[in-house]
Amino acid sequence: MTILPSQSYPFFMILALITLTALSQLILIPTFQKRSYQISFILSLLPLFLSALILIKTSTFNLPHSLITVDHLSITSIASIILFSILSILTLWKNEKQDNILPEVYPLILFSLIGAIFLVSSNNLLMIFIALETISFPVYIMVALKKNCKASIEASLKYFILGGAASATFLYGTSLIFGISSTLDLKDLAHSPFINSNLLIIIGLILIISSTIFKIGAAPFQAWVADVYQGSSLPIVSYMSSVIKFSSLIVLLRIFEVILNQEWAKYYILALATLSIIIGNLLALIQKDFKRLFAFSSIAHSGYILLAFACLSILSKSSILFYIFIYAISSIGIFAILTQLSNNNYQFPISSLRGIGFERPFLGIALTLFIFSLSGIPLTAGFIAKFYLFSSMITELPIAIIIIALLFSILSLCYYFKVVISIYSTSTNNLTKTNNNNLTNNSSYAFIVTIISFLITIAIGIYPPLSSF
């Protein structure tokens, strides 16, 4: 008797490949200490490229109780997070030595990726909880992997404590739902007679939604974002802002498909979205450190995405996926550039970018393009993504909410252009002059990541039909 359907073999082959490679690194790193970074780097990229090939043959399937549900959304999401992981690992190469990060960062990325793959491939609350913990614990460690750095340890501790509270909240909400409905399957829960009227189930769903929203860093659960981003190495922030954010939003999308017709859910998510947009943009305005500015702007972007959750449809689903993808690509591109420009990845004042547009013309142009993309300037992929997102909800949401979102989106130009002005301001004392040698010797892979992100951003911006991927 076959326990698993044959359609599931490629999916579990991907998981086995990544898991075994990550475990083998934990053995090889202490054995070959002198070449531990090179070995870990190669053994991290190899299973990801092979997984991308195997994914082509992956078919849809569903295990009992929706423990694993691989549909077209899952396959698209897995392909995206594998791409983000490859780009983040390439950005990390040689930066980990410069940043004094232990080589164990590579297997930790793979372990976290396993959790992300499970997270986007499940409709079962218990499996989602396990996946959230699997994706989170390696990141807690990665944030603190810089040796002798109090800022990273403090950031990791804050993230761990608040993340633990969010996990407990999710588990408590799950227990409430199971106690009333006797199911953990989201599909069964959608047809449960209790979902419309039982107060405990509604409380349980609110707790689950809130703890998941913590993972994407939306208000009012955003207290950790700025400190963790600032205390982390740039490539780690790149991974968090792409893989973690993307996979968390996908599982939130699955949860919202269950409560699509619940009036309370619409008002709850609208409140969180509006709060995120307002808080994120206002706090970003007063930041002088680029990493903190990016952190608060990410809160605002989470708010724009959550608005589309309040009017979920086939159109808004595709626009949400596209928006998250473009946001992740722009974020990866930005941090790949910053990695090339800095020896100190923990303090990155905006003023340190002065003159980069003249000292490093391509990097200045690329950084400007990514910033324009995040702000939604025409002829960038970010403009197309924001246009699709707002088009999908403009007739569905209250006009006041749309106006607030548009006004604060325009307001975001103030702090984004502050960075662009700094890039093209003349200065005799900027970080690029200090790091010319490091740029050419240590950042070749980060430069490749910059080019890939640049081409995707500009190509979709100029020719929008490419967005139909």
What integer pLDDT is reported at residue 296 of this predicted model?
93
What integer pLDDT is reported at residue 430 of this predicted model?
47
Q: DSSP letters of 254-320?
A: HHHHHTTT-HHHHHHHHHHHHHHHHHHHHHHHT--BHHHHHHHHHHHHHHHHHHHHTT--HHHHHHH
Number of domains, the chain: 2
Give SS3 for 62: strand
pTM: 0.91
The per-type count for the chain, helices as H runs and strands as E runs, is 22, 2
Residue in the structure block whose two tokens are 């993340």 = 163
Give me the residues of the chain with pLDDT under 50, please: 1, 428-441
For residue 241, which of 81, 400, 104 has the smallest C-alpha distance?
Answer: 81
Co-location of 243 and 364 in the same domain: no
Of 257, 273, 301, the last residue of a domain is: 257
Co-location of 275 and 409 in the same domain: yes
pLDDT digits (tens, 9 = 90+) for 170-229: 999 999 999 888 888 888 887 777 777 788 888 999 999 999 999 998 888 888 888 899
Co-location of 168 and 238 in the same domain: yes
Co-location of 89 and 140 in the same domain: yes
Which structural domain range is residue 212 located in?
Answer: 1-257
Q: Give the H/E segment covering residue 240.
A: none
Co-location of 119 and 135 in the same domain: yes
What integer pLDDT is reported at residue 190 of this predicted model?
79
Of 242, 257, 272, the last residue of a domain is: 257
Co-location of 156 and 65 in the same domain: yes
pLDDT digits (tens, 9 = 90+) for 325-346: 999 999 999 999 998 887 655 6
